[in-house]
């Protein structure tokens, strides 16, 4: 029986329930939410998610506070995974970092984005270049069977400040190679190239430097990086986007889009 003291859960418009939360560092965490039965998306796309803002001091009304988040799980998965930074004074992530299993968050079902197979033409190799939480859309695409149907070799590069920031990617590679759907192909075709820029590790420095001085290709034994063989997707900081565009175009690759597929794509909506 309900009493006047009963606290009812807040039911949000477009609300989905949090089913898993994992904190990697004091700056990074992962969470999973339920997936609406009617929701369709292409691996690599992003959606708007968020929470209600604090009540307005006069009206008491609460507005949705939404941000673009890449879906980190593949299109076939029955839940939705997200990988997020925590910013103490960030309007959304200062609150989002405290979510717990059973909480609700707002999820707008419309998904969009340029980091999709439809935006690239076929070639021999596919490169995923990421920094920080920019690895999220590639966590989706690495577990997408189409990735291995379309390419003979897939390389994920992930650059972070510190070793602890690489853990999500390391686990992702292990899970992908053990996956029942894509594991067999991934064990042959998938290469992982993690680097750190602040803490000492086996491979240090920005990926842009490794591309320009050739050390990336040398360590992977690749001598024929060009527009005939290679396709690339880029996701990370604004600086990475600008630098990668210049570097890839110097190698002769042309930017593609959903409407006009070509050699490389950059996710401009990504914030992280
Ligand atoms: P750096 O430490 O040299 O700035 P952040 O944590 O600030 O989002 O950065 C994530 C990673 O991306 C860091 O290792 C950072 O290196 C790297 N990074 C930042 N800007 C660029 C850029 N323009 N090109 C390549 N890597 C970058």
Best probe residue, ligand 1, of 83, 134, 197 (max atoms within 8 Å of C-beta): 197
Find the 160 Cα to ligand 1 centroid distance in Å: 7
Q: What is the pLDDT of residue 21?
A: 98
Per-residue confidence (pLDDT) for residue 268, from 0 to 100: 80
**Which pLDDT does position 12 carry in this prediction?**
72
SS3 letters across the chain:
CCCCCCCCCCCCCCEEEEEEEEECCCCEEEEEEECCCCCCCCCCCEEEEEEECCCCCCCCCCCEEEEEEECCCCCCCCEEEEEEECCCCCCCHHHHCCCCCCCEEEEEEEEECCCCHHHECCCCEEEEEEEHHHHHHHHHHHCCHHHHHHCCEEEEEEEECCHHHHHHHHHHHHHHHHCCCCHHHHHHHEEEEEEECCCCCCCECCHHHHHHCCHHHHHHCCCCCCCCCEEEEEECCHHHHHHHHHHHHHCCCCECCCCCCECEEECCCCCC
pTM score, two decimals? 0.94
Q: What is the pLDDT of residue 8?
A: 52
Residue having the nearest C-alpha atom to atom 8 of ligand 1? 132
**pLDDT in the model for residue 13:** 73
Nearest-atom number in ligand 1 for the CA of 160 is 14
Q: Please indicate whether residue 243, judged by its CB atom, sits closer than 6 Å to ligand 1.
A: yes
Instruction: Report residues of the chain scoring pLDDT below 70.
Output: 1-11, 270-272
Atom of ligand 1 nearest to the CA of 207: 25
Q: What is the pLDDT of residue 2?
A: 44
> pLDDT tens across 34-73, in order?
999 999 999 999 999 999 998 899 998 989 999 999 999 9
Q: Probe ligand 1: pick from 27, 28, 83, 206, max atoms within 8 Å of CB?
A: 206
């Amino acid at each position: 029986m309900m009493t006047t003291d009963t606290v009812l859960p807040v039911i949000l418009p477009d609300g989905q329930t949090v089913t898993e939360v994992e904190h990697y560092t004091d700056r990074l965490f992962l969470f999973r939410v339920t997936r609406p039965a009617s929701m369709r998306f292409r691996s690599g796309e992003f959606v708007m998610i968020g929470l209600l803002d604090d009540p307005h001091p006069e009206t008491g009304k609460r507005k949705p506070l939404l941000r673009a988040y890449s879906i980190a799980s593949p299109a076939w998965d029955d839940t939705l995974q997200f990988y997020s930074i925590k910013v103490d004074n960030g309007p959304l992530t200062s609150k989002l970092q405290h979510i717990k299993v059973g909480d609700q968050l707002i999820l707008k079902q419309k998904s969009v984005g340029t980091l999709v197979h439809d935006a690239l033409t076929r070639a021999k190799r596919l490169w995923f270049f990421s920094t920080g939480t920019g690895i999220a859309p590639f966590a989706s695409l690495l577990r997408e069977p189409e990735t291995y149907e379309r390419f003979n070799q897939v390389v994920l590069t992930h650059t972070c400040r510190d070793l602890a920031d690489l853990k999500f990617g390391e686990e992702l590679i292990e899970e992908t190679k053990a996956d029942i759907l894509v594991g067999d192909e991934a064990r042959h075709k998938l290469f992982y190239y993690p680097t750190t820029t602040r803490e000492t590790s086996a491979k240090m420095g920005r990926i842009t430097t490794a591309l320009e001085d050739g050390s990336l290709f040398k360590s992977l034994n690749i001598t024929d990086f060009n527009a005939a063989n290679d396709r690339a997707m880029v996701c990370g900081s604004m600086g990475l986007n600008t630098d990668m565009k210049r570097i890839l175009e110097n190698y002769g690759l042309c930017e593609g889009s959903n409407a006009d597929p070509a050699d490389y794509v950059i996710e401009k909506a990504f914030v992280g």
